[in-house]
Homo-oligomer: A and B are copies of this chain.
């Protein structure tokens, strides 16, 4: 399994002011490249925390993707923290610098804008069709936090990020509580370790139910488990709802 850790950098997520929308997007896109996100961390805009966390996770996961903190203001400190974590200098990238100079601006505005041209020595660019790029240093990819910019940078992942087989998953719903079929599910899971079988209850004023999610890199094994789950649901007098209960 090829693994990734997502580092979401930003006080606005930790305070609850902003709800993160990047993790689910990144997880699904990385999965298409055969990379499984096996951990995510949300950390504050604090240099020591960013440096220490990055140095911990970059040796424990195949890839690390960071989001946030690469704009032109004082609270954008990700690039300098990545440089510090790797023990390299922060240098001006000539390509980004030229991009910044292509739109004239007063000196002070240009100085701030050029903060975004600084990347760690040895880093390469992660392209962004709609604005300043992110960058890659070894197995660490540094992306914007604004969802539109982050998503534009992810388009540059193919070729840079190389994984194994993607996980495929399917969902079956049932208008049952979890407990009646819990033992049956446990038996199916025990007999099929190559398929992950997750059970997610849904509580509704009208009618509660469950969604059962089968995930595997082996589509045939996934389908075989789904058939066993359909039969388990039928044994309890219900018909499985294909694609799950909304």
Contact = CB atoms under 8 A, between A and B. Distances in A.
Interface of A: 11-21, 23-28, 31, 36-45, 49, 71-75, 105-106, 108-113, 115, 146, 148-149, 167, 169, 178-180, 182-183, 185-186, 189-190, 196-201, 203, 213, 215
B148 A182 contact: no
Contacts of A38: 14, 44
Nearest to A212: B73
B17 A20 contact: no
Contacts of A200: 12, 18
A156 to B, nearest CB: 19
A182 B74 contact: yes
A72 B213 contact: no
27 contacts: A11-B198, A11-B215, A13-B23, A13-B24, A14-B36, A14-B37, A16-B24, A16-B37, A17-B24, A18-B24, A19-B21, A19-B24, A20-B23, A41-B41, A41-B42, A71-B201, A72-B182, A73-B178, A73-B182, A73-B185, A74-B185, A74-B190, A74-B199, A106-B180, A108-B180, A108-B183, A112-B183
Nearest to A131: B203
Given A40-B42, A73-B182, A179-B112, A25 B14 contact: no
A60 B165 CA distance: 37
Max chain B CB contacts within 10 Å: which of A73, A180, A215? A73
Given A31-B16, A109-B179, A39 B41 contact: yes
Contact of A73 (B27, B186, B215): B186
Q: Which 7 A-B pairs have the closest CB atoms?
A: A16-B27, A112-B182, A74-B186, A16-B24, A16-B28, A40-B42, A73-B199
A204 B108 CA distance: 24
Contact of A203 (B39, B40, B146, B169): B146
